[in-house]
Amino acid sequence: MSRVERDPERGRAAAAKLKALGVKGTLIKAAEQGYITQLACKMPECFCPEELGGACYFEPVTAELSDWMPTHEHFPLSKREGGKQAVDNAILAHRLCNRIDYSITVGRPHAKDLERVRKAREEAIRRNEPQRDAEGVGPYGGAGIPEVAESAPRRRKARKASWRGLPASEMVAHLLATPTIGDRVWPLSLPVRTSTRDVPRSSAPRRRPRVVQRMSGIGGY
């Protein structure tokens, strides 16, 4: 019935990984005998998000029945067609992938299951984002924080002048001996006075002021 070549050596390695996840029964036997050689979901379509790990990602078997725990699927002969749970009729599958495949086959609504896949993808992206940023492959180029946070101005601490701690007499001597910015700028800010002698005189003839002489007895004067 088996359509795959057996590889007991690889199968034993896969069986060890399945045991570490808490798997028991037919899947372990199928792996040890070489029918299952890889820890990967072998359903026609694996719905496990790549952000979570894809087909090779499995979570441990617990009482909560995780969506991504390993389960047994009857193959190549399905259970509906009379297939038995045997080592040569077994493949490895995610629990949720197994469930969705069955829903698609029988026409059962499975929108809620697809919504669980979407939420799992979003949660995986949220968890992976800090690590991706630290490695330099995230949206912030390895900075790990948004650019808007980097552009925030930093407040500088005020530096206390060294001369403020001096005694009064030493402080006065220090201030008198130390030139300040005002001392350097003040002489340059004074207006430059130019002598009138340096100003060239105009070459045009000067007009004499008009003198009006008052004459008595003429024109009513």
Task: Assess if residue 160 is contained within a domain.
Answer: no
Residue 97: inside a domain, yes or no? yes
Rounded Cα–Cα distance for residues 88 and 99 (Å): 21
How far apart CA 91 and CA 72 sit, in angstroms, is 6
Distance CA 126, CA 145 (A): 14
pLDDT tens digits along 90-116: 999 999 999 999 999 999 999 999 999
Q: 21 in a domain, yes or no?
A: yes
Query: Is the Cβ–Cβ distance between 43 and 65 less than 8 Å?
Result: no
Could you give the angle at the alpha carbon of 135 between the alpha carbons of 131 and 136, nearest 5°? 120
The more confidently predicted of residues 75 and 136 is 75
The residues, any chain, with a CB within 8 Å of residue 117's CB and separated by 6 or more, are 47, 48, 49, 96
Question: What φ, ψ does residue 74 adopt, rounded to 5°?
Answer: -70, 120
In a domain, 142, yes or no: no
Rounded to two decimals, the pTM is 0.57
**Is a pLDDT exceeding 80 seen at residue 199?**
no
Q: How many domains does the chain have?
A: 1
pLDDT in the model for residue 154: 64
In a domain, 151, yes or no: no
Domain that holds residue 109: 8-131
pLDDT greater than 70 at residue 73 = yes
The helix-helix angle for 111-134 and 95-106 (nearest 10°) equals 150
Rounded (10°) CA dihedral 189, 193, 198, 202: 100
How many other C-beta atoms can be found within 10 angstroms of the C-beta atom of residue 85?
14
In a domain, 137, yes or no: no
- Domain annotation covers residue 171: no
Give the separation between CA 100 and CA 93, rounded to whole angstroms.
11
